[in-house]
Amino acid sequence: MASAPRLLLVEARYYEDISDELARGAIAEIEAAGATFDRVNVPGALEIPGAIAFASEAEDEDGLPLYDGFVALGCVIRGETSHYDLVAGESARGLMDLSIQRLLAVGNGIITVENYDQAWARAKVDQLNKGGGAARAALEMVRLSRRFLGEA
């Protein structure tokens, strides 16, 4: 029987209130699935892929990967400059690169929006619950990796 998945939530804290709500949704999904998790914070969305890359190298006392999957949580709100496009695109690219190149199970919960109201609508657990969706995606990718690659 497969062990319960262990996930790492990596949270960009630039918009702390939004991040807290995304985490609330993710944690509820993880706990409902019977999985376990750890949490780490990074300053912004661009730092999330790097933190996941670091953590993907961590091993337990038996030399096995410490985490089965990762949940990226953060928010990028469009501003007056093109910085939004860079942060939104590069954070997503970084997560996709990790998923494909390192065969990591990653749920992308970095929401990219035009304004604060859109961010809240996507983050709130009783609305779009993108944090919960990212956790579900990570758990499903863990399931698929175990199916195709075997349990670590």
CB neighbour list of residue 120: distance below 8 Å, 6 or more residues apart: 18, 21, 127
Residue in the block written with tokens 């954070």: 91
Catalytic-labelled residue, pool 4, 16, 31, 83:
83
Catalytic residue flag (residue 56): no
3-class DSSP state of 36 = strand
Q: For strands 36-42 and 6-12, give the pairing.
A: parallel
- For the beta carbon of residue 58, count every other beta carbon within 10 angstroms: 11
Catalytic annotation, residues: 83
